[in-house]
Amino acid sequence: MQKKYLLKLNFLFFVFFLFFEASAQNSLYAGIEIGSKGIKISVIDVNNIKKGDYDIVAYWTENVGIAKGISIDGNLAEEDINRAGTVVFENLSKIKNKYSVPDEFIYIVASSGVAMANNTQALSNKIKTLTNKDLDFINAEGEGKMLLKGSIPSTDYQDAIVLDIGGGNTKGGYVDVLNGNKFEFFPLKLDYGTITLTEAINKTIVIPREINDMGVYKEKSFEFAPVLRDKIKEMLKSRPESLQKKKIYLSGGAIWAFTTLYYNEANDDHFVPLTMQDIIDYDAILKNNFVKYENLAKTSKEADKVINTYNQRHLISANNILIACLESIPNLKSKKIYFAKEGQIAWLVSYVVDRSKKIKNNF
């Protein structure tokens, strides 16, 4: 009798477990990321809770810059904090009402570029007050790892380096196989991104009448180039194995802007091949014929998004970082360079997936 009872109990537990697994495998999750240049929102549908199989239901960006004050006095400006809080609250409501995502499955994070500020607690308090949810800050290493996991083919893990040029910093990394055939992630980080580099160069313009002079900005940008190159070489040399990788995956707003403006064509490929010569030619247009892209924005919705997101100074700074990174990698002609199109949301999606369930990770 006791054995029959235990068998019945075990069977009921097994049925309950299968039911729980099945019901949990089709769940909606959402993430709101407060980045240096904007607030990104993604909604995903997790199809298989063990395999990490998910579909992107929706993704959109709110162009709310929050990091410009960091390079000025090290702090997030109060008005930027307030604006970010309002936008987060509005989008949290949208996620709940339009996509019916449960509150407990919505995560709010701030990028490593925002985390560089001295007054991050003020932002945390604002988000907590408006949403009653905690704000998690992700460091550059965490971002880099999530970016690699979510934006490049797993078959390329051992042979690739990934770099993301964000608004507040540039991060990425690579993996190597160590003892026991276990992947270990090695992060890369540069404390310059599109916005922070622009602000650093702006600070070198000390004559008031020259502040809005684009010619002066380009001169100061050129003078700042050696500082930028030294920082990038220092970053790469700290991880010499990174220089031996045969594939370079790039992501971030800087690469999105380049591929959108320069190629000006729809491309459904997840990985877009790039060439150094195209990047150099694009750089010349940014600095000497920017009106070409301003005119393009009048007829192209995608180009208009870029121009409304970044001004000319931002785009010049972003491409300066891109060129300096690539020029610092030896034997570049023998390597393959790709734009990872999903990279813009890959680390955020990876974060949401990892937080929504426990997946056995390789690294």
pLDDT score recorded for residue 257: 95
* CA atoms 269, 274, 278, 280: torsion sign: positive
Token code pair at residue 32: 């709101």
Strands 336-340 and 247-251 come out as parallel
Give pLDDT, residue 348.
Answer: 66
Residue 180 is predicted with a pLDDT of 61
CB atoms within 10 A of CB 158: 13
CB 167 within 8 A of CB 67: yes
Q: Residue 99: which pLDDT band, with cuts at 50, 70 and 90? A: very high
Let me know: does 321 contact 165? Beta carbons within 8 Å.
Answer: yes
**How confident is the model over 22-30, as a mean pLDDT?**
62
Q: Whole-angstrom Cα distance, residue 83 to residue 64?
A: 8
Give domain limits for the chain: 25-138, 141-344
Residue 88: what pLDDT?
A: 97
pLDDT given for residue 354 in this prediction: 66
**pLDDT value, residue 332:** 96
Structure tokens at 189: 């980080």
Q: Which are the contacts of 21, defined by CB distance < 8 A and separation ≥ 6?
A: 49
pLDDT (tens digit per residue) in 47-82: 764 444 667 889 898 988 888 788 788 999 999 999
pLDDT digits (tens, 9 = 90+) for 192-234: 999 999 999 999 999 999 999 999 999 999 999 999 999 999 9
The sign of the torsion formed by the CA atoms of 108, 185, 318, 70 equals: positive
pLDDT digits (tens, 9 = 90+) for 259-313: 999 999 888 787 899 999 999 999 999 999 999 999 999 999 999 999 999 999 9
d(CA 28, CA 106): 9
- Read off φ and ψ for residue 218, nearest 5 degrees: -65, -35
User: Residue 44 pLDDT more than 50?
Assistant: yes
Report phi then psi at 358, rounded to 5: -95, 115
Mean pLDDT of the chain: 85
- pLDDT score of 62: 92
Residue 175 and residue 185 in contact, taking contact as beta carbons nearer than 8 Å:
yes
**Hey, CA dihedral for 357, 360, 362, 363, is it positive or negative?**
positive
Fold identical between 25-138 and 141-344?
Answer: yes
Does the pLDDT value for residue 361 go beyond 80?
no
The span from the CA of 34 to the CA of 85, in Å, is 9
Q: Which CATH class is domain 141-344?
A: alpha beta
- Return the exposure string of 21-52: e unless at least 16 CB atoms fall within 10 Å of the residue's CB, then b: eeeebebbbbbbbbbbbbbbbbbbbbeebeeb
Q: Which fold has domain 25-138?
A: Nucleotidyltransferase; domain 5 (3.30.420)
Which pLDDT value is given to residue 363?
Answer: 56
Question: What pLDDT does residue 270 have?
Answer: 78
